[in-house]
Amino acid sequence: MRKVKAGPDGAALTADMSPRRLKARRRWRRLRENHPFLVMLLPAVLVVFLFNYLPIYGVLIAFQDFMPGDPILGKYTRWIGFENFTRFFTDVQFWPLMKNTFLLCIIGFVIGFPLPIIIALMLNAMKGRRMSKVLQTIFNGPHFISLVVLVGMLTLFFGRYGLVNNIVAGLGGERKSYFLESGAFRPLYILSSNWQDFGWSAIIYIAALSNVDPGQHEAAILDGASRFQRVLHVDLPAIMPMISVMLIMSIGGLMGVGYEKALLMQTDGNLGVSELIATYVYKQGLTGVPNQGYATAIGLFNSIINVVLLIIANTTSKKFSENSLW
């Protein structure tokens, strides 16, 4: 096949062709030469199509009066426009859900975003390299604990006869099951998330810090900067671009909190604060009498908020600094 273009007649072939035909032929040849790459891409494309793009198409049911088992576009599809959305906006649950989701996300973000940066800066500023490595290993550990085990540990520690209550009782306090207390949900949720992931989230900053030119530090030392001043004036500026990118990303994912964890932590006692948009979607759509069109509409509303937040964050960042995702 490949050799067809060779041979003595090849000369005539190229010489006689118009530039446009030449271009088209060249494109065709490139495609033929590079088609193995397309074959290598195919499985991934297929998986993403099935599990990511088909569901995006399935979002149409948010605008339908949909019963499980119906085709998405069928003869009897009843389009109801934004009815599901207006129903959600007027749902008594709407404001509590918005409040629960936003508060959990924002408090979580305010604590969870700077903590890894501080830890990374501190680890980087440690005197002993080896000690710093050991600490990193320790800090990364909890990341590999599964959500189920993490929440299980929480129930063990904060249950009525758990370690915390034992200590409280020992000090003369009163035992209570923190899982049934609505006031304890957010602190437990956020602190345990940070406990699990602060070390892991710090890695990316540590990597960025390890790329700082040691010459910069040496120059600063000669200029008389203390270690703390070097953290502020050498290290921190060096990871600023990374911080911006991570900031945009986490703002974009702000509303996509780990509902899997919230679901595990929910009890009758704390439902008032632990019910989030996403857990509500799960309950409306997949438990009890399924209400799929409605649940999809709520989910879509949530994703749209996310995309809008992402765009706002990115545009703002672009305006004020050079860093942006696109």
Residues 23-52 that bind another protein (CB under 8 A): 26, 29-31, 33-38, 40-41, 43-45, 47-48, 50-52
Stretch that binds another protein, among 73-81, 83-91, 106-114, 135-143 (CB under 8 A): 135-143
Stretch that binds another protein, among 78-86, 99-107, 182-190, 238-246 (CB under 8 A): 238-246
> In terms of Cα–Cα distance, which of 239, 167, 234 is closest to 203?
239
- Is residue 187 near another protein by the rule CB under 8 A? no
CB–CB of 154/187 below 8 Å?
no
Stretch that binds another protein, among 73-81, 91-99, 101-109, 240-248 (CB under 8 A): 240-248
- Is residue 3 near another protein by the rule CB under 8 A? yes
Binding mask 159-178 toward another protein (x if CB under 8 A, else -) reads xxx-x--xx-xx------x-
Stretch that binds another protein, among 79-87, 92-100, 104-112, 120-128 (CB under 8 A): 120-128
What would the two tokens of residue 17 be?
A: 């062709």
Closest approach of another protein to the CB of residue 83, in Å? 16
- H-type helices in the chain, by residue range? 10-16, 19-48, 54-58, 83-90, 94-112, 114-124, 129-140, 147-158, 163-170, 182-210, 214-222, 227-230, 236-252, 259-265, 271-274, 277-286, 292-320
- Is residue 68 near another protein by the rule CB under 8 A? yes
- Is residue 285 near another protein by the rule CB under 8 A? yes
- Is residue 324 near another protein by the rule CB under 8 A? no
> In terms of Cα–Cα distance, which of 109, 118, 120 is closest to 202?
120
Binding mask 243-282 toward another protein (x if CB under 8 A, else -) reads --x------x-------x--xx-xxxx--------x--xx
Stretch that binds another protein, among 74-82, 87-95, 99-107, 117-125 (CB under 8 A): 117-125
- Is residue 242 near another protein by the rule CB under 8 A? yes
Q: How far apart are CA 119 and CA 7, in angstroms?
A: 67
> In terms of Cα–Cα distance, which of 82, 54, 100 is closest to 294?
82
- Is residue 184 near another protein by the rule CB under 8 A? no
Cβ-Cβ contacts under 8 Å for 145 (sequence gap 6 or more) = 153, 196
48 or 106: CB nearest another protein? 48
The torsion angle over the Cα atoms of residues 98, 103, 106 and 107, rounded to 10 degrees, is -170
* Segment 189 to 228, residues that bind another protein, using CB under 8 A: 195, 198-200, 203-204, 207-208, 221, 224-228
Cβ-Cβ contacts under 8 Å for 201 (sequence gap 6 or more) = 112, 115, 116
What would the two tokens of residue 188 be?
A: 């437990």
- Is residue 130 near another protein by the rule CB under 8 A? no
Q: List phi, psi (to 5°) of 299.
A: -60, -40
Closest approach of another protein to the CB of residue 168, in Å? 10
26 or 99: CB nearest another protein? 26
- Is residue 179 near another protein by the rule CB under 8 A? yes
- Angular region, 32: left φ>0, alpha ψ -120 to 50, beta rest: alpha
